[in-house]
């Protein structure tokens, strides 16, 4: 049994067309209704409109990425109770339209975070990159978050100061702009004032309290998902540790274990991202697949390369710190045991070839993801023959 191979599509305005994704060999598309404000209901009409568009292109849509959880729900402030009720309605609506997996995350304020979205390799291709010193410089000296210095060691502060003294104004402007990028699927960036205002709203919410809020949310929506026949898949934090003084609660194996213990239903599971979990050396990806295999509902296969300074970049899918051969083998064994074909997509491909001349969502140009999918498909095919 092979994985259900998909790619992410950001909708009608995505420079990557549905035909491109089908030509890459994908049977399905992973997408979301980005035009609907966070907290509002996804109507059957809008879901069906998107679904028919994908099916007309010869593919299927069964995985949502993502049905976003509002910051009101994460903080339990403002309209959070109404937003939970709206979320329940959206779950029922997507289930009525035949969708099966709802991806979401519980990261406060910001989604993924990088200091460079066009890190250039010697061969000219480009990738996403996280530079720890540049990020500390952004937090302490550019954003000027109150109390930021307390979150870093003296050595990190010194490296950040050195970065500010040696980096060009263009480099600092690029880091500033990249760190304030909006959520994936949006061309909008946050202003410093907006970020500081949003960060202030999380005062008093630590790791334990944010986990309580996540578990409360799931206690409300998982029974609805179970009754509707869909599953929920939480995406891990990216990067997998606290940023900007905000708690992160889905970064480690222990975080995943806490979720499983708090919400026993198998409808409450994971979007297992080998790039996000893999950007922490203390996460054993093979062990986590074995431990949480029954709760894995969706797969992001990507690879990162770390160093001892806290920096990492998006590596070629077969060349980073994660052993992709062993990971795919473990996934095939898992699917054989569960008698299921798990949906998978390559993630954060390099910008290369003709795509270097196009404006695409960072990490989501077509050719780099096609290359990644081809490599992953090759390993899967070979391993499936051996396992069979």
> Which residues, 6 or more positions from 378, have their beta carbon under 8 angstroms from its beta carbon?
none
Instruction: State whether residue 15 is helix, strand or coil.
Output: coil
Q: Which of 300, 317, 350, 355 is catalytic?
A: 300
- How many CA atoms does the CB half-sphere of 175 hold within 13 Å? 24
Q: Which of 139, 273, 317, 355 is catalytic?
A: 273
Q: Let me know if 347 is a catalytic residue.
A: yes
Burial of 333 from C-beta contacts in 10 A (0-12 / 13-18 / 19+): middle
CA proximity to 114, closest of 98, 102, 128, 127:
128
Q: Which of 20, 347, 350, 355 is catalytic?
A: 347
Burial of 41 from C-beta contacts in 10 A (0-12 / 13-18 / 19+): middle
Q: Which of 83, 213, 348, 350 is catalytic?
A: 348
- What does the alpha-carbon distance between residue 141 and residue 210 come to, in Å, rounded to a whole number? 27
Using CA atoms in the order 258, 261, 265, 268, what is the torsion angle rounded to 10 degrees? Answer: 0
Helices (DSSP H) in the chain: which residue ranges?
A: 18-23, 44-56, 71-75, 80-96, 132-137, 154-166, 169-179, 192-200, 207-228, 253-262, 285-292, 324-338, 366-387
CA proximity to 171, closest of 131, 210, 206, 144:
131
Buried b (16+ CB within 10 A) or exposed e, 166-190: ebeeeebebbbebbbbebbbeeeeb
Within a 10 A sphere around the Cβ of 69, how many other Cβ atoms?
A: 23
Q: Let me know if 297 is a catalytic residue.
A: no
Q: Let me know if 348 is a catalytic residue.
A: yes
CA proximity to 20, closest of 8, 3, 33:
8
Strands 101-104 and 312-314 come out as unpaired
- What does the alpha-carbon distance between residue 60 and residue 136 come to, in Å, rounded to a whole number? 42
- What does the alpha-carbon distance between residue 303 and residue 305 come to, in Å, rounded to a whole number? 7
Within a 10 A sphere around the Cβ of 284, how many other Cβ atoms?
A: 13
Q: Which of 235, 297, 317, 350 is catalytic?
A: 235
Catalytic (active-site) positions: 235, 273, 300, 347-348, 364
């Amino acid at each position: 049994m092979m994985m259900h191979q998909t790619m992410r599509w950001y909708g009608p305005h995505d420079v990557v067309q549905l035909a491109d994704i089908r030509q890459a060999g994908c049977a399905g598309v992973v997408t979301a209704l980005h035009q609907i404000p966070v907290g509002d209901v996804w109507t059957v009409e809008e879901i069906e409109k998107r679904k028919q568009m994908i099916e007309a292109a010869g593919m299927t849509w069964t995985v949502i990425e993502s049905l976003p959880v509002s910051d009101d729900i994460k903080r339990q402030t403002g309209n959070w109770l109404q937003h939970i009720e709206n979320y329940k309605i959206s779950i029922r609506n997507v289930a009525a339209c035949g969708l099966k997996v709802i991806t979401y995350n519980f990261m406060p304020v910001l989604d993924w975070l990088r200091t460079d979205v066009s890190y250039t390799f010697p061969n000219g291709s480009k990738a996403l990159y996280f530079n720890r010193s540049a990020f500390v410089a952004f937090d302490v000296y550019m954003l000027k978050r109150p109390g930021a210095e307390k979150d870093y060691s003296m050595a990190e502060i010194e490296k950040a100061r050195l970065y500010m003294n040696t980096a060009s104004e263009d480099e600092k402007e690029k880091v500033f702009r990249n760190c304030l990028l909006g959520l994936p699927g949006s061309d909008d960036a946050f202003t410093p004032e907006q970020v500081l205002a949003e960060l202030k709203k999380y005062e008093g919410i630590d790791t334990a309290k944010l986990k309580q809020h996540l578990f409360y949310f799931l206690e409300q929506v998982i029974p609805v998902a179970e009754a509707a026949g869909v599953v929920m898949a939480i995406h891990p934090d990216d990067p997998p540790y606290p940023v900007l003084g905000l708690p992160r609660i889905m970064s480690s194996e222990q975080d995943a274990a806490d979720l499983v213990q708090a919400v026993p239903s198998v409808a409450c599971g994971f979007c297992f991202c080998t790039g996000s979990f893999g950007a922490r050396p203390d996460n054993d990806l093979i062990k986590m697949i074995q431990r949480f295999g029954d709760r894995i509902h969706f797969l992001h296969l990507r690879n990162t390369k770390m160093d001892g300074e806290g920096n990492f970049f998006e590596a070629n899918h077969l060349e980073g710190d994660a052993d992709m051969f062993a990971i795919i083998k473990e996934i095939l064994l898992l699917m054989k045991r569960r008698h299921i074909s798990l949906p998978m997509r390559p993630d954060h491909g390099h910008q290369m070839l003709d795509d270097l001349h196009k404006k695409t969502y960072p990490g989501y140009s077509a050719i780099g993801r096609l290359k990644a999918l081809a490599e992953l498909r090759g390993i899967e095919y070979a391993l499936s023959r051996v396992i069979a």
